[in-house]
């Protein structure tokens, strides 16, 4: 009889211990976040949804008249505008007023606008991007279909310029074309261009890339 009671007490104790252990494990698992649970750390795509100020665009290009500028003030859509640089070199922006832009780099203009807007906006983050370059131009004159001034975009060559100007007129002297290039000291250099040679694959180095204020003369 004593043996039976001892065995019964042993099994009751064992079952009770197993029950307590299982409950403890279950509670621990429920309190530990699973690998698929959401995390408070934002992914890069999620973080971008909250908005981050754009970075400065350029510190080398010199803004000029007729350029088109995209000006973004972070979290201030009413002030963010796309504005042209007027012939007097200035732009007009809400709160900032009339601002000199010509002769400045985009980075310098960003700093100037930030200083001006600081009186109205707490720690303004300004980005200036040159959306269209229209101030840097070359000229083509003489016996072409459409003489005039053209913007320097995509590194045009003399041959590109002739194509932009609609090609030659009937009496153009295609062997006597030249490029007038202004030197830093104010003098000019004449660069000859023989179209007849170029189309035959000769002297291809004469098809130079155009620079600011170059003038192509087609006699």
Residue 3: burial class (beta carbons within 10 Å; 0-12, 13-18, 19+)? exposed
Report the range of poorest mean pLDDT among 96-100, 131-135, 158-162.
Answer: 131-135
pLDDT of residue 24: 45
Domain coordinates of the chain in residue numbers? Answer: 54-132, 137-218
Specify the fold of 137-218.
Outer membrane lipoprotein wza fold like (3.10.560)
What pTM did the predictor assign?
Answer: 0.57
Give the tens place of pLDDT for each residue, 18-30: 444 444 444 444 4
| Look-up of token digits 């200083």 | 115
Higher-pLDDT residue of 36, 140: 140
Give the tens place of pLDDT for each residue, 141-177: 999 999 999 988 888 999 999 999 999 999 999 999 9
| pLDDT mean across residues, the chain | 81
Higher-pLDDT residue of 191, 60: 191
Best CA proximity match to 141, nearest among 44, 195, 219, 58: 219
Domains 54-132 and 137-218 share a fold: no
Best CA proximity match to 138, nearest among 123, 148, 125: 148
CATH code for the structural domain at 54-132 = 3.30.1950.10
pLDDT of residue 60: 81
């Amino acid at each position: 009889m004593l043996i039976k009671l001892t065995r019964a007490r042993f099994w009751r104790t064992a079952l009770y211990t197993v029950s307590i252990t299982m409950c403890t494990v279950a509670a621990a698992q429920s309190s530990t976040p699973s690998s698929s649970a959401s995390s408070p750390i934002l992914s890069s795509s999620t973080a971008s949804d909250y908005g981050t100020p754009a970075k400065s665009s350029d510190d080398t290009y010199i803004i000029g008249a007729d350029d088109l500028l995209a000006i973004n003030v972070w979290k201030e859509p009413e002030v963010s505008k796309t504005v042209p640089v007027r012939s007097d070199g200035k732009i007009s922006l809400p709160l900032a007023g009339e601002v000199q832009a010509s002769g400045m780099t985009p980075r310098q203009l960003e700093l100037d606008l930030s200083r001006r807007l600081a009186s109205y906006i707490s720690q303004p983050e300004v980005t200036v991007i040159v959306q269209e370059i229209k101030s840097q131009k070359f000229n083509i004159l003489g016996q072409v279909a459409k003489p005039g001034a053209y913007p320097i975009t995509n590194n045009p060559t003399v041959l590109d310029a002739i194509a932009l100007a609609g090609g030659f007129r009937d009496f153009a002297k295609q062997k006597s074309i030249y490029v007038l290039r202004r030197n830093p000291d104010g003098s000019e250099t004449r660069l000859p261009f023989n179209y007849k040679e170029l189309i035959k694959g000769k002297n291809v180095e004469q098809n130079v890339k155009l620079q600011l204020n170059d003038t192509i003369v087609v006699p």
